[in-house]
Structure 1
């Protein structure tokens, strides 16, 4: 009844509503101004419980944080201001200092592990058997320096005053002519500057190919499971003795050697004949790499041809086909694998009667052939025309100015992840051969050889100096496993499998 009475009177209803609001506001302010008891147990955040979690061991007695009468770790002290928890301020200097200290500690631990491994005689992983399905580019010798072109400075000397009058008074015309010529064409020659042409610094220093060094390199390559070395053959007389030593040393490490010839600067028929003549010098060596061809019923050498796409529409290119009357196959026959860059280069290789093609440049995205996602197309093309596709994988690329038309084609190693993606892509495409660029091509930064951390140079950190040798061993094992499974799937009882020789297409 009382409520009805107030409801009928609108003025009294407004006053009652206003008093109710004021009372609620006063109650809220009183509750918020109550100072919290820090020592009391907090319902939202149990700081002693968090302290036990950080301490790594549980406490006893209903969240007291005590273990055997002793507090494992003092409870967290949250900074407060007027009873409200204040978040800790971000200190960039302290954060950078902590990161630097953690980095130094990590490097010390890695160096200690590396030192212990060397003392234990386990410097890197090893494989007992080698496979001829994996080839690696090898540089002997390494071009450590590049030479900057010299410039000629020719200042003009002007004769003035007394010197000019003296020259005019000389009666001997020959003497006058000689003096004037030497004075006006005075030149000074600047000596060429040699620049160290590598982004990394080798653990063995700037070495030259000696017998002991070659033995160490061959031992590392053999331990990775790699069976074939690719040498660059230029036909120069100075490399003959070195290459013969390599061919004689290779069988001791169960290695074979093949060659890469280049037609970059000269695509004439005579130049290519000279290149093949140079290869014939080594063709009788036991370690010269050959494969058995079921169609030809004999062993045939495998030869790489750099810049082979430049032979298009040239007499030298047409002479590569066996059907030609003056075919180069009569001079030196083999499985010729041509270097390609663009998509249409595979058609050029087919017209020039090459048995296969490879991309050579280990820089993903730099060209069509070196782009990983295009390898499935190249593999399919090779299967269609019974050719051989050999993808080139590499740990990275650190040569900026080699192909200026493509811009910056440098590829960071990304702590080995770049190398791993290249290997996985090649393995999943079920190729017969894979070549690696490279073991020791230091000028383009694609080497897997041991490196030395040095100021001003890149390194393999974090990781041991044999990091990429170990990664190569790992991926060769994966390649062999996949290859054996594929060979077993296509094997015909009682007949040798073509897959063991090439890629189940060229028989």
Structure 2
């Protein structure tokens, strides 16, 4: 009504509308000029208060600095009114990454040193826990060098001379002691590490030709570290004959009576008997294997008795792979059998879930089943022999499951795949990080020595509890180094 009262003509209405438009233009111009004035020193592309808090230093002295310094970090350099981006300096980036990596390595080394000072060790030595020890280690293997490529596609390249084999480092881990050779100092350090894990027996490979001086040195050094030594004979295509096996037993008989050789008390035979492992025992023929059977009382004094036990009566443990091999060991008069390969699922004997069956079979025929545990299996540049036998260590979990399964089956012996079998990647010896090689990270270089000490302690505790539950008149296998 008021508009109609004061605006009675179209001309007055146009004047009023024009005045309103001019006033709106003036107000808008004033706002825009105020926003672009000299008081706005920072481009308001982001919330300045949030940026100030994000870049605010954390120390008390730096918190007192003016907020303008924190906001100033967002001010871009300009040339002729154009924002100039920062230069990308690749050398500075690489230098910063290298410094960060060196800092991480220093921190890791400090943690490793602290872990070594607080290593898990056992004062008790378990003679029922055996470990394979390699001396000397075959660090290199021979590999044929490739033929040169022909110059033309249709030509066939024929070598003028026989190509020489190339030596290749045969390990996927790198040892902390380097590519060592056996020496008195090195053996003493190894034996002390093994003893601190609670392991009581070393298993040495006895192959001909062997190094008698090295074997004698090990047999003399081992008792100084409260360790015993036994041998593993190997049955291959070249030594399956009775004469070769007899010769090996004859050579071993010279070491059996030494103080450092491992022997157990047999209640059934009322005597101390050595323990011997035989690799690939399932390959033995029936005629050769049956010579391991003990002679009857009426045959012991006959001149024509040719049994191998007449030469060396020992506690023979044979290597098996398949389910049927356990029965082969029974027919060949072996006293027990072991799995040897620390690769779960590769063969029947090395599969953890089959250990309960093998333990039951051994009990049925008064034999011993010896499972082999290992931290993993990793061969370098090698074709699988029995399918895929590579096993990842899984940060120690693979080793733990193997130990736990063996302990729950209440076995008498447990042997560990190796202390230093580097070509198979089953070692528990210390390693160091090195380009192109695996390591034990996350963890110290003594990680698997500590885990071994932990599981040996659990094994001893379980054995003592099981022996306490057995009636005193019943013999518990291998308790107090005794075989029933």
Aligned to 2:295: 323
Aligned to 2:192: 219
Deviation string 1:323-378 (CA, Å, 9 cap, x unpaired) is 38311001111000000000000000000000000000000000000000000000
- Among residues 227, 252, 272, which one is paired with 1:255 in the alignment? 227
Aligned to 1:234: 207
Query: Partners of 2:215 and 2:250 in 1: how far apart?
Result: 15
Query: Partners of 2:357 and 2:159 in 1: how far apart?
Result: 62
Aligned to 1:492: 472
The DSSP-based 3-state class of the residue aligned with 2:255 is coil
- Among residues 459, 476, 498, which one is paired with 2:439 in the alignment? 459
Cα 1:502–1:256 shift into 2, 3 Å: closer
Alignment TM-score, normalising by the size of structure 1:
0.69
Aligned to 1:308: 281
How far residue 408 of structure 1 moved from its aligned partner, in angstroms, is 2.0
2:95 equivalent to 1:115 = no
Deviation string 1:139-188 (CA, Å, 9 cap, x unpaired) is 000010001247899x9xxxxxxxxxxxxxxxxxxxxxxxxxxxxx9942
Aligned to 1:145: 140
2:414 equivalent to 1:434 = yes
Contact in 2 for aligned 1:336/1:355 (Cα 8 Å): yes
Query: Partners of 2:481 and 2:324 in 1: how far apart?
Result: 23
Query: Partners of 2:471 and 2:225 in 1: how far apart?
Result: 30
Contact in 2 for aligned 1:152/1:189 (Cα 8 Å): no
Deviation string 1:230-274 (CA, Å, 9 cap, x unpaired) is 00001324x110010000011111000000000123211111112
Query: Partners of 1:278 and 1:328 in 2: how far apart?
Result: 13
Query: Partners of 1:318 and 1:216 in 2: how far apart?
Result: 42
2:323 equivalent to 1:343 = yes
Count of aligned positions = 371
- Among residues 125, 131, 138, which one is paired with 1:136 in the alignment? 131
Aligned to 1:68: none
The DSSP-based 3-state class of the residue aligned with 2:323 is coil
Query: Partners of 1:401 and 1:310 in 2: how far apart?
Result: 27
Unaligned runs of 5+ in 1: 1-99, 156-184
Query: Partners of 1:402 and 1:382 in 2: how far apart?
Result: 34
Query: Partners of 1:104 and 1:186 in 2: how far apart?
Result: 48
Contact in 1 for aligned 2:144/2:163 (Cα 8 Å): no
Aligned to 1:474: 454
Cα 1:150–1:251 shift into 2, 3 Å: same
How far residue 404 of structure 1 moved from its aligned partner, in angstroms, is 3.2
Deviation string 1:35-93 (CA, Å, 9 cap, x unpaired) is xxxxxxxxxxxxxxxxxxxxxxxxxxxxxxxxxxxxxxxxxxxxxxxxxxxxxxxxxxx
Query: Partners of 1:186 and 1:439 in 2: how far apart?
Result: 42
Contact in 1 for aligned 2:413/2:478 (Cα 8 Å): no
2:454 equivalent to 1:483 = no
Query: Partners of 1:491 and 1:111 in 2: how far apart?
Result: 51
Contact in 2 for aligned 1:130/1:225 (Cα 8 Å): yes
How far residue 498 of structure 1 moved from its aligned partner, in angstroms, is 4.2
Query: Partners of 2:283 and 2:384 in 1: how far apart?
Result: 18
Query: Partners of 1:403 and 1:349 in 2: how far apart?
Result: 29
Deviation string 1:269-307 (CA, Å, 9 cap, x unpaired) is 111112112211211210100000001000000000000
Query: Partners of 1:444 and 1:405 in 2: how far apart?
Result: 12
Contact in 2 for aligned 1:226/1:476 (Cα 8 Å): yes
Cα 1:502–1:140 shift into 2, 3 Å: same
Alignment TM-score, normalising by the size of structure 2:
0.72
The DSSP-based 3-state class of the residue aligned with 2:111 is helix
Cα 1:353–1:401 shift into 2, 3 Å: farther
2:356 equivalent to 1:372 = no
Deviation string 1:179-217 (CA, Å, 9 cap, x unpaired) is xxxxxx994232221000000000000000000000000
2:247 equivalent to 1:274 = yes
Query: Partners of 2:442 and 2:327 in 1: how far apart?
Result: 44
How far residue 400 of structure 1 moved from its aligned partner, in angstroms, is 6.2
Cα 1:432–1:215 shift into 2, 3 Å: same
2:122 equivalent to 1:127 = yes
Query: Partners of 1:442 and 1:146 in 2: how far apart?
Result: 12
The DSSP-based 3-state class of the residue aligned with 1:146 is strand
Query: Partners of 2:382 and 2:235 in 1: how far apart?
Result: 17
How far residue 124 of structure 1 moved from its aligned partner, in angstroms, is 2.0
2:380 equivalent to 1:382 = no
Cα RMSD (Å) of the superposition? 2.7
Matches within 5 A, 1:353-432: 353-399=333-379, 404-432=384-412
Cα 1:242–1:499 shift into 2, 3 Å: closer
Cα 1:322–1:311 shift into 2, 3 Å: same
Query: Partners of 1:401 and 1:383 in 2: how far apart?
Result: 40
Cα 1:402–1:317 shift into 2, 3 Å: farther
